[in-house]
Amino acid sequence: MNLSITPSPQFQARQVKVKYNDIKHIPNVPCACCGKKVILPEQLAKILGAVSRPMASIIKSGSMNGWENNETIWKILQNFAQNNPKQSLTSLMIGNSDEYKQLSGAVSTLAEERCKSTPENTEATRKTLFQSIIANSRNKMRSSSVVMKRMAPLKSYIEGTKLEVFEQLEIYSQKYPRKTLTEIVNMEEIVKFHKMKDLLQRVETKEQIDFHFSNIQKLINSANPQSQEVFDQLKEEALDIFAVISDPQMRMLKIKKLYQAFLKQNNCEKLTNKINKEIDQIPLTYITKDAFFVFAHNHDFDDNKIITSIFNPVISTFEHVIPQSKNGEDRMKNGLVMHKDCNRYRGNLPYEEFFEYHPEMPKNIQKQVNYIARRILEGKLIGAFRFWPMTIAKTLYQYTNGAINLDLTRHCEKGLEDTEQRIQLRNDFITQLKNDRNNKISKKQELQKQIEALEAEMNGLGNVVKELNSENQNEKRLISFYESHIKAQKKSKPE
């Protein structure tokens, strides 16, 4: 083992500083809600940076003109474009360059100026301003063929309507390889095609909804012919739930509960299974890939907005187990990793209620904790991360009154064994350092004695030198007397 005073890497874990939300930056983490892998924000940012046009081109196109009014920010952007003519603004962020630090400082100053009367809004304003700059710098990307090719590695993370949109864009990028995504979305023939399909799809969806509600009405009427007025009211409430609640699983379960309460009240519970089957066949949403293209055209989506709209739902976010609205702390022990959409669906609902709509979540929480715990034991996550499995288990157990009791037996047993080994390694290292220190102290003491002996010998020699110098002085005085006496005698003799 190295006896150098500088500790080897395994002894430096305690020096690593981890922020509370760094857990959302662990790659390939399964979402605590749905269990599917999350995309890291930096993954998407890196690819967006690669397909965004250079900053010099963006400024030339006029996309950043709104920032001319702020001299400091505008000068930083121009300097970056001039010094890095082939790079996008995202590369400045990812590289954490001096220009990025200057830009960040300038944005913070602007946010403080705008929030003098409401300083509590400064941080939110700073984020909004920075996001605005980034969005402006990405509103024009390279050709669709390049963009879709670079985005391909992220395709496996999306599903449903967003996957259909992505695949449709892949088809268009092959057909119109030199056009940008914005140009494709706004092509007249494509706009007409998707508007027509969206209209037909909405009509078809409405017909399906009406058909299944009609079947539900027939079932209820067969058991209670006097229920027409009540049924109409139930249908309106169900359609309100359908329109207001964005979480598909929550939406359908609430509609089922609505009808179950009515059936129970009217002694028609035998119809529950049949009505649930009809509800299960109701389309989950009006939103299709055609609706996306129509919406993107109508709302002037640029390239950046098109791409982020596809991938944002599965971006990694920090999920507060105890919601912030209920004094939940910004600490790692209060955090799980969730998709952005899953986090939005949960909101601040108590887990006991949220689990009703997402019964698979406790299993997926265990899956996430197992994944992170494994990486910790592999040494890929160090520092504060090592405490996370036990602290999050405690938070979940307390917050859910024991409903979630994570099994960390294997992790703790292996962690205990590894920790004991690390302690032994450290103790051995400390022992060797102490021995090395003691040896050097002994050598120092021996040298000190030699130094003292040499100093004593030097002092003795110094005294001898003083004595000899004193004798020399006496001899010189004697010589002076001799010379003076000789001179005096010569003067006294007659010539």
DSSP string, 227-252: -HHHHHHHHHHHHHHHHH---HHHHH
Phi-psi region of 473 (alpha: psi -120 to 50; beta: other; left: phi over 0): alpha
**CA nearest neighbour of 369 among 404, 319, 406:** 406
Question: How far is 80 from 97, CA to CA, in rounded Å?
Answer: 10
Neighbours of 244 (CB within 10 A): 9
φ/ψ (deg, to 5) at 286: -80, -15
**CA nearest neighbour of 275 among 223, 216, 233:** 216
What are the extents of the domains in the chain?
Answer: 1-38+320-407, 53-139, 141-314, 410-495
Yes or no: say if 313 and 154 are a contact pair by the CB < 8 Å rule: no
pLDDT at position 225 is 73
Neighbours of 328 (CB within 10 A): 16
Neighbours of 413 (CB within 10 A): 10
Question: How far is 142 from 148, CA to CA, in rounded Å?
Answer: 10
Diameter of the chain by CA atoms?
Answer: 174
**CA nearest neighbour of 166 among 47, 336, 311:** 311
Question: How far is 226 from 361, CA to CA, in rounded Å?
Answer: 41
pLDDT at position 1 is 30
pLDDT at position 342 is 95
Q: What percent of the chain has pLDDT over 90?
A: 38
pLDDT at position 235 is 85
Q: Any idea what the Cα angle at residue 389 is, between residues 388 and 390, rounded to 5°?
A: 95
Q: What is the pTM of this model?
A: 0.77
Yes or no: say if 48 and 131 are a contact pair by the CB < 8 Å rule: no
Q: Any alpha helices (H) in 406-493, and if so which ranges?
A: 409-492
pLDDT at position 5 is 34
**CA nearest neighbour of 166 among 175, 176, 156:** 156
Which residues, 6+ apart, have CB-to-CB distance to 166 below 8 Å? 151, 155, 158, 310
Residue 336 bridge partners (DSSP): 319
pLDDT < 70 regions, the chain: 1-17, 91-97, 227, 493-495
* Identity of residue 370: N
